Amino acid sequence: MDKNGKILLATLSGIGAGIVAGILLAPDNGQTTRDSVKRTLTKAGEDMERTMKNWMSKLEKSGTTGAGSSLVMHGSWDDVKGQLKQNYAELTDEDLMYAEGKEDELFGRLQIKLGKTKEDIVKLIDNIRNSL
């Protein structure tokens, strides 16, 4: 065998030995490891969202940003919508239609329907979200 062939064979053998060692010495199986990584990333995402909400709330209270800046309805909007429909029978699904990035349209519909200010509506939605 020539010199290049020996180097290639040694490299492939090293890679193969590394793969076998990794499989044999891994603390968990692949699914367990993926689940662990998913849980860790989910928790990190939730922690980041909570921190951002706190910062945005502080900015709103100081007057740096406008009311509604911290309103994030991902995932829980269906719960909030259900509670609003229970509390305000006059609200329809069309009134409560929410599209990300179009919060002002939602606030406008609710202001007209409920006769409240935008700040009142933001507080109302935040109170419902916090009680769920």
The per-residue pLDDT for 60 is 67
The per-residue pLDDT for 90 is 92
The two three-digit tokens of residue 37, written as one number:
């990584």
In angstroms, the CA 74 to CA 127 distance is 16
pLDDT (tens digit per residue) in 26-77: 777 777 877 776 788 788 777 777 777 777 777 667 665 555 555 544 447 7
Q: What single DSSP character describes residue 99?
A: -
Instruction: Count Cα atoms within 13 angstroms, Cβ side, for 111.
Output: 11
Of 129, 127, 131, residue with least CA distance to 49: 129
Whether residue 73 contacts residue 98, with contact meaning beta carbons closer than 8 Å, is answered with: yes
Give the length of the chain.
132
pLDDT (tens digit per residue) in 72-123: 444 477 888 888 888 898 999 888 888 777 888 888 899 999 999 988 888 8
The per-residue pLDDT for 74 is 44
The two three-digit tokens of residue 34, written as one number:
């993926």
Whether residue 55 contacts residue 108, with contact meaning beta carbons closer than 8 Å, is answered with: no
- Non-local (6+) Cβ contacts of 72 within 8 A are 49, 52, 53
The per-residue pLDDT for 42 is 82
> Is residue 15 pLDDT above 80, yes or no?
yes
- Which CATH architecture is the domain 77-131 placed in? Orthogonal Bundle (1.10)
The neighbour count for residue 12, using CB atoms within 10 Å, is 10
Stated pTM of the model = 0.45
The two three-digit tokens of residue 115, written as one number:
């006769």
Q: What single DSSP character describes residue 65?
A: S
